[in-house]
């Protein structure tokens, strides 16, 4: 049943994209609306509930728009689309959470927001659960919840350098996991 549905999706999307290549804006709009929902479901399952998901959906839509001429009607639309979504997910995660470079540290006595429970976020994110727990926690705190490295390091009880290393290694492993994943 799942395969049949995927084949139907593939045919419908490919047909809309072929029409979009001829300049049919209506077909293109329907395609983008439908795949945005699919992308959102895909990302929520892997990264849990976060602003990141909506940001990534919108960035992916923009990328798909910019890359639309590179889709070859002889190839799978689904494979083309998910390659872009996965790439944008990693790209966006890498660019997020660099607050320590741009913002002044909180002044003494100022209230610092306490990180939400990363355990709960980890539970909701299928892909992050596959990482070693310390890497998953580091990514959730810095990249999904938007805390600074200092705040994340304090929460995890490690040094800033250790936290930076966890984030770096976590991203690397995440990319490998996404690349190894079968086409959804």
Partner 1 sequence: MTARGPLIDRLSAELTPARRLRRTGQLALLWLAGAWLFTVAAGLSVAPMRPGFAEQLLASPRFAAETLLGLVAGAVAIAAGFRAGIPGAGSARRLAWGSLSLLGAWTLAYVYGLHSPSLEPSTLGARPLCFAEVMLYGAPLLLGGLLLLRRLAPLDRVWTGAIVGAAAGAVPALFMELGCMYVPAHILVFHIAPIVPVILLGAATGPWLLRRI
**Residues of this chain that bind partner 1 (CB under 8 A):** 20-26, 28-29, 32-33, 36, 54, 57-58, 61-63, 65-70, 72, 75-76, 79-84, 87
> Distance between terminal CA atoms of the chain?
14
Q: Which is nearer to partner 1, 17 or 139 (CB)?
A: 17
Q: Which is nearer to partner 1, 53 or 128 (CB)?
A: 53
- Least distance to partner 1 from the beta carbon of 72, Å? 6
> b vs e for 107-122, b when ≥16 Cβ sit within 10 Å of the residue's Cβ?
eeeeeeeebeebeebb
- Least distance to partner 1 from the beta carbon of 23, Å? 4
Q: Which is nearer to partner 1, 24 or 154 (CB)?
A: 24
CA torsion, ordered 52, 53, 59, 63, to nearest 10 deg: 140
Q: Which is nearer to partner 1, 3 or 69 (CB)?
A: 69
How far is C-alpha 28 from the geometric centre of its chain's CA atoms?
Answer: 23
- Least distance to partner 1 from the beta carbon of 34, Å? 10
Alpha helices in the chain (DSSP H): 2-21, 25-47, 51-66, 77-95, 99-102, 118-124, 126-129, 133-139, 149-156, 160-180
Q: Which is nearer to partner 1, 79 or 113 (CB)?
A: 79
- Least distance to partner 1 from the beta carbon of 81, Å? 8
Please tell me the distance from the alpha carbon of residue 139 to that of residue 128, in angstroms, as a whole number: 8
- Least distance to partner 1 from the beta carbon of 160, Å? 27
């Amino acid at each position: 049943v799942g395969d049949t549905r995927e084949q139907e999706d593939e045919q419908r999307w490919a047909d809309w994209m072929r029409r979009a290549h001829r300049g049919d804006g209506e077909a293109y709009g329907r395609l983008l609306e439908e795949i945005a929902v699919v992308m959102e479901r895909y990302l929520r399952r892997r990264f849990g509930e976060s602003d990141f998901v909506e940001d990534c959906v919108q960035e992916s839509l923009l990328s798909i728009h910019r890359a639309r001429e590179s889709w070859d009607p002889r190839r799978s639309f689904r494979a083309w689309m998910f390659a872009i979504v996965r790439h944008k997910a990693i790209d966006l995660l890498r660019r997020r959470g660099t607050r320590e470079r741009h913002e002044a540290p909180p002044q003494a006595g100022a209230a610092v927001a306490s990180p939400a429970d990363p355990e709960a976020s980890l539970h909701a994110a299928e892909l992050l659960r596959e990482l070693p727990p310390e890497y998953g926690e580091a990514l959730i705190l810095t990249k999904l919840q938007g805390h600074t490295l200092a705040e994340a390091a304090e929460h995890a009880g490690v040094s800033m350098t250790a936290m930076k290393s966890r984030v770096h290694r976590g991203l690397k492993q995440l990319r490998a996991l996404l690349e190894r994943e079968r086409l959804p």
